[in-house]
A and B are shown apart, each in its own frame.
Chain A
Amino acid sequence: MASSSGAEGASLDDYDSLIATTDVELLKRAWRNEKAAPEILRFEFHLISRVKEQIQLMEETVEEKSSGGNNPLSVSLYQMDLDRTLFLLRSYLRIRIQKIEKYMFHILKTEELWNRLSKDEKDFARTCTGDLNRHLEETVLSKLPENYQSVLKQSVISEEDDMVPEPELDTFVLCRSKEYLTGIQLEDGPADDRSKLFEMEPGVLHFICYKSIKALVESGKIDLL
Chain B
Amino acid sequence: MAGQSNHELSLFSAEELEFIAEDEIVDIVPNLKMGPLNFISGDFGPFTPQIVTQVPLWLAIALKKRGKCSIHPPQWMSVEKLSQVLETERDSQEMSDQLPFHYVEISRLLFDHARDNIPNLYMVRSLIEDIRNVRFHKVETDLEGFNGRTIAVKIKNLSAMEVNIVRPFIGKALQAFYKHDSPELIPDPERVSDRRPQVVNNAPRRQLRR
| A and B touch in their complex, CB below 8 angstroms | yes
Complex contact B153–A1 (CB within 8 A) = no
Q: Is B19 an interface residue (CB 8 A)?
A: yes
**Closest beta carbon of chain B to A99's beta carbon, Å:** 8
Q: Is A142 an interface residue (CB 8 A)?
A: no
Q: Determine which of A54, A87, A196 lies in contact with B19 in the assembled complex, contact meaning CB atoms within 8 Å.
A: A87
Q: Is B202 an interface residue (CB 8 A)?
A: yes
**Closest beta carbon of chain A to B195's beta carbon, Å:** 7
**Closest beta carbon of chain A to B7's beta carbon, Å:** 6
Residues on B with C-beta less than 8 A from A48 are: none
Q: Is A128 an interface residue (CB 8 A)?
A: no
Complex contact B203–A74 (CB within 8 A) = no
Interface size class of A (residues with CB under 8 A): 35 or more
Complex contact B196–A190 (CB within 8 A) = no
Complex contact A24–B155 (CB within 8 A) = no
Residues on B with C-beta less than 8 A from A206 are: 152-155
**Closest beta carbon of chain A to B127's beta carbon, Å:** 24
Residues on A with C-beta less than 8 A from B205 are: 163, 165
Q: Is B191 an interface residue (CB 8 A)?
A: no
Which B-chain residue is minimally distant from A198 (CB atoms)?
B152
**A interface list, Cβ under 8 A from B:** 1, 22-25, 28, 32, 35-38, 51, 54-55, 58, 71, 73-74, 76-78, 80-82, 84-85, 87, 95, 98, 154, 157-159, 162-166, 170-174, 186, 188-191, 193, 196, 198, 204-209, 212, 225
Complex contact B206–A205 (CB within 8 A) = no
Complex contact B148–A190 (CB within 8 A) = yes
**Closest beta carbon of chain B to A132's beta carbon, Å:** 13
Q: Is B193 an interface residue (CB 8 A)?
A: no
Q: Is B204 an interface residue (CB 8 A)?
A: yes
Bound CA span A21–B157, Å: 24
**B interface list, Cβ under 8 A from A:** 5, 7, 10, 12, 19-20, 23, 34-35, 37-43, 58-59, 62-63, 66, 68, 148-149, 151-158, 160, 163, 167, 170-171, 174-175, 178, 181-183, 195-197, 199, 202-206
Complex contact B62–A80 (CB within 8 A) = yes
Residues on A with C-beta less than 8 A from B206 are: 165
Complex contact B149–A78 (CB within 8 A) = no
Complex contact A95–B40 (CB within 8 A) = no
Show 25 residue pairs from A and B whose CB-CB distance is below 8 angstroms, ordered by the A residue: A1-B39, A38-B10, A54-B40, A58-B40, A77-B63, A78-B37, A80-B62, A81-B39, A81-B40, A82-B40, A84-B19, A154-B199, A157-B196, A158-B197, A162-B202, A165-B202, A171-B171, A174-B163, A190-B149, A205-B157, A206-B154, A207-B152, A207-B170, A207-B171, A225-B160
Q: Determine which of A80, A170, A174 lies in contact with B58 in the assembled complex, contact meaning CB atoms within 8 Å.
A: A80
Which B-chain residue is minimally distant from A102 (CB atoms)?
B7
